[in-house]
Chains A and B, each alone.
Chain A
Amino acid sequence: MSTQVEQITSQERASNAAMAGLLRRLHTGNNIAVGVIWVVAMLVALIFVVIIVDLVIQGFTARLGNTAVLLNPDFWGGTELGIASEVFNTFYILILTEIFLVPIALGAAIYLVEYARQGPLIAVIRFAAETLAGVPTIVLGLFGFILFSAEFQLHISRLAGALTLLCLNFPIALRLFEQGLTAVPRDLREGSLAMGASKWRMIRTVVLPSALPGIVTGIILSAGRIIGETAAIVFTMGETNPFSGVFTLNPLIASDTLTVHIWYLKTQDIPPGITAAEASAIAAGSAAVLIVILLVINIGARSIGRAIERRITAA
């Protein structure tokens, strides 16, 4: 009797030991895997924080004349040393592009969300949007060059650049606007239609105001992409500024932006009147300014969207 019990317990002990071994192995494996995931995530986060901090530091350590480039008044001026023209051009092209982009992309989004029925036409439009989103920006730049600059006789101009950027940002803006529109609850639409409103009246008075937070977020996020784009506008908007100056609203002159300026100074020619060291410092300062503008825009997009949402839902 007692030997039987001992046998069972020894068997149990053996299987318990095997089980414990297995468990230990599994838990070690688990801990290692989770640890690796931790390390990878922290490493990636660290790289990106370092990139952004380093850009700002470069702006303060690169020297233009006797001071850091970001603290030098010449850097903010309109001479060869300054980036005032580039900042002006960047915001000019941003506004010009948004003037084309918002109505067209919003119109397309309204059609897809409000009017379209499932069918081959919708499938084709969606496939076109996905394909256009995947076209390399440099190919879009060449397309803008042949169509807008050559065929439409716009030459190398701000207008040609803005139209190219319209093609580039169309799919993204469409997706963001669609998200904004689909977030509007169905009941609101049905309520409006039940009151006897026509579909266009319903969209105008009910859907668009309620979708405003999503639309504003879409506008601001596409603004970030317009400001950051380079390859698509090098061939359509030019690499340098005209001698007559850029502080004009004329859309038919060539001009550069902050991004093109950085690329031009670092890899192409150094403009007459400045040294290579000065060009490097100006590029560093421009990169810092650019990243700060983009951070403000991205953080602003979310807080403005949220603020509008709060106001609308509270009202």
Chain B
Amino acid sequence: MQLQHVRRGHLYDRIARTVFLCCAILLVIVIVGIFFFVGQNALHLFFEPGGATFQGFFGGTTWDPTGVTSDSGIPQYGALGLIIGSIVITFFSVLIATPLAIGVALFFVEVSPGWTITIRFFQPLLEIFVDAHQHALALDIDIIRFFQPLLEIFVGVPSVVIGFLGLVVLVPFMTKLVAPITGNSPVGGYGWAAAIIVLVVMIVPTIASISIDALRAVPMSVREASLALGSTRWQMMYRAVLPAALPALATAVVFGMARAIGETLAVAMVLGGSDILPSRFGLDTFFQPNTNITQAILNEFPETYGVSRDAYWMLAFVLLVISFLFICISRYFASRRVYR
């Protein structure tokens, strides 16, 4: 009787273990499936009649897979303009977002804890108003614990909402602001510049949130050692804390890049859309309707079929490979972290 009970327990144990293992394996199946299905459809483009050549896809500048805009009706698969759009937007948005995000992280981890000291200084005064001693102590909380959840709320603001605000508030404002550059173009607000601003708003919380964890992982002894040598607070941050957290901060930035290049809705809404790569690059290139990989997929994929649809699969595959590279780079930096 007893033995049977134990045996049944073991059986359940083995079943449970197998079920849980299957759940975990499913994760691997999904990611392999993504690479398989997207890659398979993408490669059709190069091997099917009427498809594109490798050089034509990555070197051409005319994107017209359905062949409706050209007179001859021959489809053109030059994706260089789309790829450049994605890269330019990602590069500039990360360039602007990184100092902002690391500034925010430094504020929360290094500067704002000073507030608790001020509160402690005024504590006797506060105790006059707050009669229970407990309450006065409660003011001594870590400011991060209050603000980091807030930051995570901003990480979760849907991109369509940011895109909506970009379209309703930012684009009309930009149109007026850059009128001297674009020669009063009515669509001057759309384009790379608006997309960059929208992306900065989207990735600052992501980078800041990971950077805060990175800075907090640096042990107090590093700060104390630096201060004991006579550093000012800024010297301590600049010469001791930031270098100590550098690999983890790099991970944060690469994560921001991965998010930026794959961002779809917000960017697509303010880009304005135009499949023609500008013939020359100048300041005004940033202030004219433009396009990138994600916008092309989002707006044009449902209307395509056959080989022209494969061209969009290829775009998705390019995006997938780029973000996979970013993940590998961030893993490399993460493996070089000193403090965790």
Q: Given contacts A111-B24, A170-B30, are A234 and B298 in contact (CB under 8 A)?
A: yes
Contact of A136 among B20, B294, B312 (CB under 8 A): B294
| Residue interface bits A121-145, CB-to-B below 8 A is 1, else 0 | 0001101111111111111101100
Contacts of B30 in A (CB 8 A): 128, 132, 167, 170
Interface residue count for A (Cβ, 8 Å)? 88
B268 at interface by CB-CB < 8 Å: yes
Q: Given contacts A37-B103, A44-B204, A146-B37, are A136 and B323 in contact (CB under 8 A)?
A: yes
Contact of B164 among A30, A41, A114, A283 (CB under 8 A): A283
B324 near A294 (CB under 8 angstroms)? Answer: no
B21 near A51 (CB under 8 angstroms)? Answer: no
| Known interface pairs A104-B26, A130-B327, A135-B324; 9 further A-B residue pairs with C-beta atoms within 8 A, sorted by A's residue number | A29-B235, A55-B161, A131-B324, A136-B261, A136-B320, A200-B16, A224-B156, A259-B160, A267-B299
7 A–B contact pairs at CB < 8 A? Answer: A30-B232, A33-B234, A37-B111, A136-B264, A198-B12, A263-B160, A298-B156
A61 to chain B, nearest CB (A): 11
Residue among A34, A134, A146, A266 having the largest count of chain B Cβ atoms under 10 Å: A134
Residue of A nearest to B167 (CB): A266
A26 at interface by CB-CB < 8 Å: yes
Assembly CA distance A51 to B159 (angstroms): 12
B37 near A147 (CB under 8 angstroms)? Answer: yes
B111 to chain A, nearest CB (A): 5
Residue among A29, A47, A129, A138 having the largest count of chain B Cβ atoms under 10 Å: A138
B28 near A266 (CB under 8 angstroms)? Answer: no
Q: Given contacts A44-B204, A138-B298, A290-B161, are A107 and B153 in contact (CB under 8 A)?
A: no
Contacts of B33 in A (CB 8 A): 143, 147
Contact of A140 among B34, B111, B204 (CB under 8 A): B34
B207 to chain A, nearest CB (A): 11
**What is the interface residue range for chain B against chain A?**
35 or more
B37 near A262 (CB under 8 angstroms)? Answer: no
B233 to chain A, nearest CB (A): 6
Contact of A170 among B27, B149, B161, B312 (CB under 8 A): B27
B68 to chain A, nearest CB (A): 18
B5 to chain A, nearest CB (A): 10
A104 near B23 (CB under 8 angstroms)? Answer: yes
Query: Which A residues have a C-beta under 8 Å from some C-beta of B?
Result: 26-27, 29-30, 33-34, 36-38, 40-41, 43-44, 47-48, 51-52, 54-55, 58, 103-108, 110-112, 114-116, 124-125, 127-140, 142-143, 146-147, 167, 170-171, 174, 198-201, 203, 221, 224-225, 227-231, 234-235, 259-260, 262-263, 266-267, 280, 283-284, 287, 290-291, 294-295, 298-299, 302
Contacts of A267 in B (CB 8 A): 167, 268-269, 299
B301 at interface by CB-CB < 8 Å: yes
Contact of A124 among B10, B28, B103 (CB under 8 A): B28
Contacts of A41 in B (CB 8 A): 103-104, 107-108, 111-112
| Residue interface bits B141-177, CB-to-A below 8 A is 1, else 0 | 0000000010011101111111111011100000000
| 6 shortest interchain CB distances as A-B pairs | A136-B262, A228-B158, A107-B23, A40-B103, A41-B107, A111-B20
Contacts of A134 in B (CB 8 A): 255, 258, 262, 323-324, 326-327
Contacts of B26 in A (CB 8 A): 104, 108, 170
Contact of B17 among A115, A221, A234 (CB under 8 A): A115
Contacts of A228 in B (CB 8 A): 156-161
B124 at interface by CB-CB < 8 Å: no
Q: Given contacts A37-B103, A130-B331, are A138 and B316 in contact (CB under 8 A)?
A: yes
B218 at interface by CB-CB < 8 Å: no
B20 near A108 (CB under 8 angstroms)? Answer: yes
Assembly CA distance A94 to B187 (angstroms): 37
A137 near B262 (CB under 8 angstroms)? Answer: yes
